[in-house]
């Protein structure tokens, strides 16, 4: 039985190492998320709901953009993620962010939001369009909805690296068995349309890391930690065992391959989509 047939869960879990990975990975994704927010019209004075906050990176970015006098609500189903994200905000002295535990699509809030956002979260929902429709009811007329999702299949290295190819094969196979939609990025347009948002705007971005870039060790670390986080699922589904993969040495081995090749590591594309709720509410039932 796959996890898709069971209660929906985040397949990578919320261990301290996974939350640290998400924080490190954010350095590669945040520039694209900021561009999406700017294009969508996120501005000072807005209230924001962040769906599936994880380590809190998107909520923190939104809080920095809307300003200290505004409210950002982050949400996650994991208590450990909520606690970690809240600690980060306290350390950063961001008093305009609070976190709630649960699925915001099923929660009630005191007032509708100016913007509802999320990154790499709809891919874990069984029915993203229905989730977006429910979220739309928590959005002000004219409010912004903006999501980013990965679109797998475009990741590659030039020159080709065997260890990177193995990583993509294992992650794709395991997460597919876990019920994750790895092509959610290319489905955002249709999902938003089914949720009542007309002709959303879109863009696509792709993180790329060169062999001699300062970010290269961090990129290899992120990829290795993805494997660590899904290791229980890989073993559960019989994909591979730790003794076969040697996760503890994966990052330095991948880095050595990248250095020897002298080329680039190209991650999967990140697709952004954003739209506004119609002011008369006609499109949202």
What secondary structure does DSSP assign to 29-81, as a single string? HHHHHHHHHHHHT--TT--EEEES-TTSHHHHHHHHHH-TTS-EEEEES-HHH
pLDDT of 242: 64
Q: Is residue 57 part of a domain?
A: yes
Cβ atoms within 10 A of the Cβ of 121, count? 23
Structure token digits, residue 284: 């949202």
Domain of 188, CATH number, reads: 3.40.50.150
Query: Which pLDDT belongs to residue 243?
Result: 74
CA dihedral 167, 168, 172, 175 (to 10 degrees): 40
**Count of domains forming the chain:** 1
Q: Does residue 3 sit within a domain?
A: no
Whether 1 is covered by a domain: the verdict is no
Closest CA to 48 of 33, 60, 32: 60
The residue range of the domain holding 155 is: 13-276
pLDDT of residue 5: 34
Give a yes or no: residue 6 inside a domain: no
User: For position 33, what pLDDT does the model report?
Assistant: 98
pLDDT-flagged residues of the chain (< 50) = 1-7, 281-285
What integer pLDDT is reported at residue 220 of this predicted model?
98
How far is it, in rounded angstroms, from Cα 178 to Cα 29? 24
Does 153 reside within a domain? yes
Whether residue 199 lies inside any domain: the answer is yes
Beta bridge partners of 28: none
What the block records as the tokens of 276 is 């506004």
Whether residue 251 is contained in a domain is answered as yes
Give the Cα separation of 255 and 251 in Å (integer): 6
Is there a contact between 225 and 22 (Cβ–Cβ < 8 Å)? no
What is the phi-psi region of residue 75: left when phi exceeds 0, alpha when psi lies from -120 to 50, beta otherwise?
beta
Token code pair at residue 111 = 């007032």
* The predicted structure's pLDDT at residue 10: 82
Asked if residues 216 and 258 have their Cβ atoms less than 8 Å apart, the reply is yes
State the pLDDT at residue 9.
Answer: 66
C-beta separation of 57 from 26 below 8 A: yes
**Nearest alpha-carbon partner for 121 in 165, 46, 55:** 55
Is residue 241, in this structure, part of any structural domain at all?
yes
3-state class percentages of the chain: helix first, strand second, coil last, to nearest 5: 45, 20, 35
Burial of 268 (C-beta count, 10 Å sphere; 0-12/13-18/19+): buried
């Amino acid at each position: 039985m796959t996890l898709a047939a069971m209660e929906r869960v985040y397949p990578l879990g919320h261990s301290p190492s996974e939350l640290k990975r998400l924080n490190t990975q954010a350095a590669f994704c945040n520039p694209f998320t900021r561009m999406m927010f700017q294009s969508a019209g996120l501005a000072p004075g807005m209230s924001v709901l962040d769906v599936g906050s994880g380590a809190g990176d998107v909520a923190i970015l939104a809080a920095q953009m809307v300003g200290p006098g505004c409210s950002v609500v982050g949400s996650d189903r994991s208590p450990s993620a909520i606690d970690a994200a809240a600690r980060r905000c306290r350390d950063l002295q961001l008093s305009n962010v609070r976190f709630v535990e649960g699925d915001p699509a099923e929660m009630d809030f005191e007032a509708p939001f100016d913007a509802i956002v999320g990154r790499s979260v709809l891919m874990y929902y069984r029915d993203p369009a229905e989730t977006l429709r429910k979220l739309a009811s928590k959005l002000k007329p004219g409010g912004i909805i903006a999501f980013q999702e990965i679109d797998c299949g475009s990741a590659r290295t030039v020159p080709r690296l065997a260890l990177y190819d193995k990583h993509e094969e294992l992650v794709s196979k395991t997460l597919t068995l876990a019920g994750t939609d790895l092509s959610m990025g290319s489905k955002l347009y249709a999902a938003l349309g089914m949720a009542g948002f007309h002709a959303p705007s879109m863009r696509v971005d792709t993180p790329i890391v060169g062999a001699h870039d300062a970010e290269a060790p961090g990129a290899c670390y992120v990829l290795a930690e993805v494997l660590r986080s899904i290791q229980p699922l890989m073993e559960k589904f019989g994909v591979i065992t730790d003794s076969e993969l040697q996760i503890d040495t994966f990052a330095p081995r991948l880095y050595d391959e990248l250095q020897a090749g002298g080329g680039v590591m190209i991650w999967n594309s990140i697709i952004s989509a954003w739209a506004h709720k119609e002011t008369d509410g006609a499109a949202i039932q």
